[in-house]
Structure 1
Amino acid sequence: MLHEAKAPVGVAESQIPDWLFIFEMANNHMGDVEHGIRIIREFADVAKDFPEFKFSFKLQYRDIKTFVHPDYQDRFDLKFVKRFSETNLSQEQRSALLGAIKQYGFISMCTPFDEKSVDDIVADGYDILKIPSCAFTDWPLLEKIGQTNLPIVVSCAGANLEGLDNVVAFLKHRKKDFVLMHCVGEYPTTNEKLQLGQIEFLKQRYPGVRIGFSTHEDPNELLPVSLAITKGAQVFEKHVGVPTDTIKLNGYSANPQQARAWLEAARQARIINGALTERSRATDGERATLGDLARGVFVKRDVKAGEKLTNEDVFFAIPTQKGHITAHDWSKYTHFYATTDLKAKEPVLQDNSRRVEVREKVYSIVQRVKSLLNRAAIPVPGEVDLEISHHYGLDKFDEHGITVITVVNRAYCKRLIVVLPGQTHPEQWHKVKEESFHVLYGDLTVTLNGQAEEVQVGEVVTVEREVRHGFTSKGGAVIEEISSNYAKEDTFYTDPAIGKYEGRKTFLTHWLG
């Protein structure tokens, strides 16, 4: 019935599983071992119907001789002295209850209220140790608990922010496996005092610390556990007991029927809440509905087999067909080529097109450009576009291409040109624009009207209007281009095939992060 949760790769596996429900017997055994075993047995019968959850049964240990001042140990007029004395168990009785907890498949847990009880819990072989809210900043007791190797569940009712920070730091520094439980120390707790938003607060304040919910509300209340689950709690604690003709439960302890309803509410909340740590997957019905409304890709004109399809060649419309390429597939990182002749208005399908993904290639280019700029120690303004010019296609970018960062383009223009090692920029000219190249980093060979010239860092080359120019770099270069206004229609290539290739540029805005 009980299985421990698996930790993510690289994270130590916790001994406290997620979706753990703790049944707190406290003193509801009334000092009667047989009644205590009955409680364990009846709640085991409840737990078996919820195999998706893990279950723990919890006792409390107090050494009356040290926990209560010697002069007050007979003062039964004091509520807690009377209660604890009347329900105090011998070592033999505690062992009998612990044996029943293990017999019925529960994870065993116990709360110590004094240092001697910590030693007893360890000696008796409990699985988990619990720190109660009343001992949250009891530093002598915490130091004793910190010396054990047991995982810890910690309730923090009434703790102020300083106390919270200090205890969490104390447990983290000692590399303890622990869960921090939101709790309100009123018995019972009315709904308006539950403060379930604290679960979210604790999760945000202590990233990586698991947060649970220890409950004291009326056991007939089912909404709180559902809300706690939506806030992200995955460990829960509730006081439980079994009423008899002579035993009446207090206002915050659940009987088996109430606990069953509580767990069923948790089950439904978990189902409704869905995944907490990863993106949920679309349902079959969701995919079908969304798929019916997805726009399919259709060609505008007749297309020959082998042609690359561009934005100008297609339109998007419903309805789609089986195997249809949709607008969700169409992006600047995904290229499609017709594998058969297509007539105008025909659909682009998986069976009549070839898909080529270029995202990884673009990512590689961006990383190399950023690396070269870092080596050159050249700052780049945020939110500027990166223009990747792949004159003969991305597959030939490393031989023929450059990347350009436009810093300013008004009546005047400033751009940074990055030439990666081994790249050549094809020859071109301008009718309107005049430009100057200032070499900031690396080696550069500039060709002007067919004459090659090596340019050193710091030197400036001016390119007048209608002068054919190209450049190349063996080891990589960064050039500052200063010119009159840049307009793409004022660029002419010696190779006319480049000018006809409309998909020769890829623009990226968010590339610096």
Structure 2
Amino acid sequence: MSAIIPAPLFVLEMANNHMGDVEHGLSVIRAFGEVCRDFPFRFAFKLQYRDLDTFIHPAARGRDDIKYVKRFSETRLSRPDFDRLVDAMREAGFMTMATPFDEPSVDVIEAQNLDFIKIASCSFTDWPLLERVVLSAKPIIASTAGASLDQIDRVVSFLMHRHKDFAILHCVGEYPTPDEHMHLSQIDFLRNRYPNVRIGFSTHENPDHTDIVKLAVAKGVTLFEKHVGVPTEKYPQNAYSASPAQVRAWLEAAQHAWVLCGEGETRLPPNPEEANSLRSLQRGVFARRAITAGETIQREDVYYAFPPQVGQFTANDWSKYAELTSTTAIAQDAAVAPNNALYKDGRARVWDIAQRVKALLERTHIVVPGSADLEVSHHYGLDRFDEFGLVLITVVNRCYCKKLLVILPGQSHPEQYHKVKEETFHVVYGEITLVLDGVSSVCQPGDVVTIEPGTRHAFSSKDGAVIEEISTSHNTDDSFYTDETIMANKQRKSLLTYWMD
């Protein structure tokens, strides 16, 4: 069974830094094992595989004037040597990984049962190699240095259509990479373009620099790759590979960055110290006049002043959703608090209504623009919404207007009329009983009814319904209810914008 790419995962790339000396390679693995065991992350150690007898063209073999031919030849290891390195990686607690540069090397990876396959930037569009790699069940991590957008699109599509577990890495193929060429914002670009793909970071900066990993963590990266090695008198270190001490500093920087970034998937509640500090700076609610027990406390009955008393209601608690009722007499200038008033917040009720409407729309496959405002009409108050009420979703309101009217099961909309607006009801879901100037009729999906200005209209639904309303421009002062009680209720509407999520 193939491994899943964990998060976070730090990949330590030895490449050819074993120097063709298996004992040196073993010492490198063990040295980094000592470092990594001090951190609460998952780690993979990575090798590079080439079948040199077929990888290098016959005419180029033994050529010391070709840089990489010389390097690959001088650092050749046998298959038993690589097996020893893989065993040491596992013994040190590392997951195992290798980069194949040719098809026979994929066979070796499968035979060794390594955890992951890495696609190097130079092989990112090596289609014969990719076709062999995707035959394996191993998760794939691919670097994108030097790849065009079209090439990345094609590789991502290729891997997704084959249902592979894969990630791509932002990478710059300069060794070491100067700061001005890091372009860390490419991480954001890749995450936005491929929202269902894991985006990581393969880093080749000066290994003494630790700010870059902090920035990558802040951008949400949880998959990192870095070249590593252990310098000795015999084997000096190159300019982009990190020593054990440098990797320790790099990991400490990443760990500190995660502490600084904290939780970002959800909005966190304030911690107690933060909440207490902020509350002490709020204005308290005080009685403007003497209030008797049992009164509904209105806005004109109170004033707000600093400093607040411990535990009293503050201006931050007061809103159009709040309802306060005095439970005992409250003296003028006294604090309004839980010991003398009952506080009810209608926000949860409004949010519950929004979720019920959203569920009905999803069930009926009616698609609503994400930016559409939702208006909850509670003509006799939220407590009676399930009996009398309506939810209106405004799609557009210009010289013409389009709304969706959602009637939940068992609801009625009280009788009203408009002096200016003409509207047409198109029933798109459910059944409604429509009453026009006292005459009742049943309307079903597909029925269209035009309501002219001045026509009194009321409607209800036993099982719930959705009406598409097309009208002339809607004016907030052009709705007149025949029940004066409703007209006197100035708080009969609640608006929500961010309700679709």
The residue identity in structure 1 corresponding to 2:493 is T
SS at match of 1:167: helix
2:312 aligned partner: 324
User: Which of 209, 220, 223 is the matching residue for 1:221?
Assistant: 209
The Cα shift of 1:345 comes to 2.8
Quickly say closer, same or farther: Cα 1:369–1:78, change in 2 above 3 A.
closer
Distance 1:421 1:184 in 2: 59
Question: How far did 1:131 drift?
Answer: 0.6
Q: How does 1:466-481 map to 2 (within 5 A)?
A: 473=460
- The corresponding residue for 2:342 is 354
Identity percentage over the alignment? 45
Superposed CA RMSD: 4.3
After TM superposition, give the deviation of residue 323 of structure 1 in Å.
2.9
**Mapping for residues 43-442 of structure 1, pairs under 5 Å:** 43-50=32-39, 52-359=40-347, 361-362=349-350, 386=375, 388-391=377-380, 393-400=381-388, 442=432
Determine the structure 2 residue equivalent to 1:17.
6
Q: 1:37 matched to which residue of 2?
A: 26
Any conservation in 1 of the 2:166–2:198 contact (CA below 8 Å)? yes
SS in structure 2 opposite 1:301?
coil
The CA distance in 2 between the partners of 1:28 and 1:481, in whole Å, is 74
CA offsets 1:467-495 (integer angstroms, 9 cap, x no match): xx89665758989999xx9969997857x
Per-residue CA shift, 1:382-435, capped at 9, x if unaligned?
Answer: 9788472523x332344456678999999xxx99999877666778999xx799
* Per-residue deviation, residues 288-334 of structure 1 (Å, max 9, x unmatched): 33222233333333333333333333333332333333333333334
Rounded Cα–Cα distance in structure 1 between residues aligned with 2:9 and 2:358: 50
Letter in 1 for 2:168: L
Question: If the length of structure 1 is used for normalisation, what is the TM-score?
Answer: 0.79
State the distance in 2 between where 1:295 and 1:14 align.
56
Aligned-pair CA distance for 1:25? 0.9
Question: Secondary structure of 1:356's match?
Answer: strand
Aligned-partner residue type, residue 390 of structure 1: H
Q: Say if 1:181 and 1:486 are closer, same or farther in 2 by CA, change over 3 A.
A: closer
- Is the deviation greater in 255-264 or in 276-285? 276-285
Given that 2:191 and 2:199 are in contact with CA atoms closer than 8 Å, whether structure 1 keeps it comes out as yes
Q: How far, CA to CA, are the matches of 2:450 and 2:478 in structure 1?
A: 26
Contact 2:357 2:406 (8 Å CA) reproduced:
no
Q: For 1:37-66, what per-residue CA distance to the aligned partner results, in whole angstroms no more than 9, with x for missing partners?
A: 11111111111222x322111111111011
1:5 matched to which residue of 2? Answer: none
Aligned 8 A contact 2:3 2:115 in 1 = no
Aligned partners of 2:421 and 2:478 also within 8 Å = no
The aligned length equals: 480
Give the Å deviation of 1:337. 2.6
Structure 1 CA distance, aligned partners of 2:403 and 2:162?
55
1:281–1:27 distance in 2 versus 1, CA, 3 Å? farther
Shift of the 426–211 alpha-carbon distance from structure 1 to 2, 3 Å rule, reads closer
Contact residue 429 and residue 493 of structure 1 kept, 8 A = no
Write the distance in 2 (CA, Å) between the matches of 1:140 and 1:421. Answer: 60
Unaligned 5+ runs, structure 2: 444-448
Q: Distance in 2 between matches of 1:270 and 1:369?
A: 36
1:453 CA displacement? 4.8
Relative distance call for 1:30 and 1:365 in structure 2 (3 A) is closer
**8 Å Cα contact 1:417/1:481 also seen in 2:** no
Q: Which amino acid aligns with 2:266?
A: E
- Higher Cα radius of gyration: 1
CA offsets, 1:95-153, max 9 Å, x none?
11111100010111111111000010111111111111110100000111111111111
User: Where do 5+ consecutive residues of structure 1 fail to align?
Assistant: 1-12
> Which residue is 2:433 aligned to?
443
Q: Contact 2:121 / 2:146 at 8 angstroms: preserved in 1?
A: yes
Distance 1:347 1:456, change over 3 A: same
Task: Specify which of 472, 497, 506 is matched with residue 493 of structure 2.
Answer: 506
> CA distance change for structure 1 residues 499 and 303 in 2, over 3 Å: closer, same or farther?
farther
Q: Give the counterpart letter for 2:82 in structure 1.
A: R
> Aligned partners of 1:333, 1:57: CA distance in 2, in Å?
57
Q: Per the alignment, do residues 422 and 238 of structure 1 end up closer, same or farther by CA in structure 2, a change over 3 Å counting? A: closer
State the SS of the aligned residue for 2:44.
strand
Task: Provide the residue aligned with 2:446 in structure 1.
Answer: none
Q: CA deviation at 1:71?
A: 2.5
Q: Which amino acid aligns with 1:43?
A: F
The residue identity in structure 2 corresponding to 1:255 is S
Quote the Cα distance in structure 1 between the aligned partners of 2:203 and 2:404: 62
Matched residues in 2 for 1:434 and 1:184: separation? 64
Change (3 A) 1:363 1:166: same
Q: CA deviation at 1:194?
A: 1.6
